[in-house]
Chain A
Amino acid sequence: MALRIVDYDPNDYKLAAVLTSGAGEVLEGDQKIGPVFSLFFQWAEKNQAFLRYSKSTSELVSCKITRDIEERDLSQLYVSIPLNSIKEKVVAENLFIRMVIFEVCYEFESSIIDHWIEGEEQNFIIDVPKNIKMILARKAPRSSKSDVAVDAKWIVGNEIINCFITSMGLDSCVIDCQLSPSLKGILQIAGHDFIAKVVRNWEGEKKSVIKIDFSSDYETGLYFDVYKMFRYPRLSSRTRYEVEDVLELYKRAGFFNNFSSKFDEEDKLEKIKTDWNNIKSAEHHHTADYCLEQSGKLAGTSSLAQFCQTPNLEYWVFHQLCADKELTTLEDTGTLYNWRCEYLHLRKKDSASYVWFRSESRWLERIYVKFNTQNPQLGELKTCSLFTYIHHASEGDSLNVRVYNFGDGKRAIYKDDYITAGAGPNYVHINRNMNVIICNDGDWTKVKNAANKICQALNEKSLYFRVEIDNSNPDSSIEIEPQNGTDRVTIIKKVGLLDLIPCVNHSIAVTKLKKGIK
């Protein structure tokens, strides 16, 4: 029976489910194999294929896989490779194919139906496989760049070996020297010592894989700063830029016009500068802010900030993403989204990531609904009502409020069964939206009570808050501003962060096709 490129099965309908299959899982039957090939052929620019002609060889040759677009069902596959890319003449009956789609890797073995040479190409026609093995769910692949090699030192006792890092993954990297497996030592990168262990080497090759054993969340941030050179080479820490330049980018991108509220302060820009200078030392502890460059110009920026924490859980917000439309592409916007997933995934503590967005952006709505449809267990997506208001402090206590250093500023957090709240420094977000109160039972009295406690703890007469609450009728004494009628909030569990990346990338690919962008 021929394989239909896209088919459905009432019991296993989720095409993208194949992206979340576990390593080693074998996909059998048309209903499971169909989606893999569907994705592969749908997104030609997102796929890669490699060929091995024998199980025993490790030589992988990049190949092109196509199909006959005139037939409705997939009955055979066409594979071609450059004529001299395989040293020996292929006499095998079967080919081993490895396909990579949206960074997920599959391998299958298939019998050769026909084989010929035409021009500079060696061509094969192979059977559609009966099963496909998910060889590695490389959701966090090691990245390498031909023009990037980072200096490092491998230190064991008094012995110091100078080396280069040639590729990096989220918790491991490859260095250009051969070390004994299981050897423990210190890998010094960018002046920081990471406790590490050799987990793999290759016989006869100057190459070893080193796994890092992070000792703190701060250390994961330092590691990410190096990792991004491979994975997101155009991304730089915001601390490298003058505050004025970044603010200019926000202005240029229309961020203030779109999101500023009636509670704006006249001296806002000065206050932002002061707070941003104060929170520089909060980087990798409570914030992460990165900027994207294009041809030497600042083109985009996005941030993460921790708005609350408990001993076992950190609450983070994806916030203040802006991109200059003239200078950035959709892929750049994807970068500004994706680094945050990897950054938080790397941290040691468990986390819940909050994203507030507006449904007018169908692109964002598509990303998060897609993610939620495919992975309902990895997060939550709901409509929400957002308000902003200024709380004027009245007499009261600051019981159960925890105040801690947030860089050179202070942050106060409060959490009970109904309220999760945090405030300070005011301009962690350029519109003070990191002063957050989330109330899950619709009671504005509880919101006011929490706001008052936080004001007392920070010794502030008044504070601006963004409130998420399912109650649009607060008592008339509160001056509020509904932010938008179409707001959404999505909460992503740490375990789901890396699954968001294929959703972002797939949504970008879909949006580009919809808009005819090449």
Chain B
Amino acid sequence: MDNHSRSLGGMNILIYGKDPLMPMKLEQALATAKPADEVLIDSFENYDQAYNFCKDNKNVGLVFLFENCGEMDVNSVFTQFQKLNEYQDTCFAVLLHNGMETIKGLRASKDNDSIIGYYNVNDLLDLNKTSFFMQEIWEKYQTTFEKILIPSILASTYKTIAQKHLPTEILNFGERLSVLLSGEMNVTWKESLMLKWSPVLKVLKENDQDLIKGNKQLFGLYQIVESNQNSSDLKQIAESELEIAKKISTTVQCLISSMKENKLEMVLQNAIKEVTPRSKALLRILKRRELNILEMAKASDVTTKVAQLKVV
């Protein structure tokens, strides 16, 4: 799981189960592995307390559910919690057993796509392993979410259509650049996902808006990174009042435009020549990553040409 301070984006994590002490032990194990987000993790042994927590917060995105969760079956309990989330599609569960998988547990996780894993709680409580398993769960979480948001067939359709309006090498460069900058800047997981897709979505929105408007959730999420600023001045972007994710998407668009005009190196060097320790984070990162960015531009070009040759 990403450990920087905004990675969860304010999403709450709920732990619920009837095994005495275990929910809080898990809460503290997760808090130890991910201290910046301890305030977002809550555990309960009492169903009413857990239910009220979901009701009051409305943004529980991940539920760690012990198999021993009272008289109701795990799917029913999870459904109760899930439906209290404002965005039900972003609430998933991890089912926990006490060392022995059960048929009931296996069946529950098979029957419900929102249950993204079935784990031994002792593995998560082992502080040597907690971070590893949390990372695994977090990757599953994001992959599941991305698949629900943009199923693979839709993903290739979007990319194919976008390629009609913008050369593949530029789209590839935009995606890689977004991923690179997201990895260095303090963005949430949702912003990070949307930034990865932003070069494609921007092209679609400008040319085939109806196509993505139909996917309301995706269209809604895209707003968190979409920027209408079309600046060619990276310094101005970095120093603007834009939110972090929007700064990144604007920067990517700026560099995509300069790549189209074969001015990438020049634009980049102009921006970073006066970068000092007092400069904004984005500029310092561009300076630090200048070579990577230029190499990425070349690699995108080469990859595309190889792909085109293969097609020929």
Contacts and interface: CB of A to CB of B under 8 A. Distances in A.
Interface stretch (B139-147, B278-286, B296-304): B278-286
A41 B5 CA distance: 10
A374 B35 CA distance: 13
B267 to A, nearest CB: 21
A493 interface: no
Interface string B8-29: 0000000000001100110111
B110 to A, nearest CB: 31
B49 A13 contact: no
Contacts of B42: 362, 514
A6 B131 CA distance: 12
A245 interface: no
A125 interface: yes
A383 B21 contact: yes
Interface in A1-59: 4-8, 10-11, 13-16, 35, 38-39, 41-42
Nearest to A382: B21
Contacts of B36: 5-6, 38, 42
Interface size classification for chain B: 35 or more
A190 B103 CA distance: 70
Given A14-B32, A14-B127, A514 B39 contact: yes
A35 B35 contact: yes
A10 B281 contact: no
Contacts of A365: 21, 24
Interface string A363-379: 00110011001100000
A314 interface: no
Interface residues of A, number: 45
B87 interface: no
A351 B121 CA distance: 34
Interface stretch (A69-77, A90-98, A156-164, A421-429): A69-77
B27 A369 contact: yes
Interface string B28-44: 11011111101100111
Interface string B250-292: 0000000000000000000000000011101110110000000
Nearest to B276: A114
A468 B71 CA distance: 28
B244 interface: yes
Contacts of A35: 35
Interface in B115-143: 127-132
Contact of A486 (B4, B5, B45, B285): B45
Contacts, number: 118
B244 to A, nearest CB: 5
A285 interface: no
B44 A13 contact: no
A513 B40 CA distance: 9
Q: Determine the main DSSP class of A at the interface with B.
A: mixed
A370 B35 CA distance: 12
A488 interface: yes
A362 B4 contact: no
Contacts of B130: 13
Contact of B32 (A360, A373, A488): A373
A43 to B, nearest CB: 11
Nearest to B183: A72
A492 B35 CA distance: 24
A383 B24 CA distance: 12
Given A71-B285, A113-B277, A369-B28, A359 B20 contact: yes
Given A8-B131, A362-B42, A369-B27, A70 B244 contact: yes
Interface string A439-457: 0000000000000000000
A260 B132 CA distance: 47
Interface string B49-81: 100000000000000000000000000000000
Contacts of A38: 35-36
Nearest to A364: B24
A71 B281 CA distance: 6
Contacts of B277: 76, 113-114, 125
A381 interface: yes
A114 B278 contact: yes
B186 interface: yes
B38 to A, nearest CB: 5
A366 B276 CA distance: 44
B233 interface: no
A383 B20 CA distance: 7
Given A69-B5, A373-B32, 7 more contacts: A6-B5, A6-B36, A38-B36, A71-B285, A72-B184, A362-B49, A488-B21
13 contacts: A4-B3, A4-B4, A5-B3, A6-B5, A16-B35, A41-B5, A42-B35, A69-B186, A71-B184, A72-B186, A370-B28, A373-B29, A374-B32
For the complex of A and B, list the 9 residue pairs with the smallest distance between their C-beta atoms, beginning with the closest. A71-B281, A70-B281, A8-B131, A383-B20, A513-B39, A15-B35, A369-B24, A72-B4, A114-B277
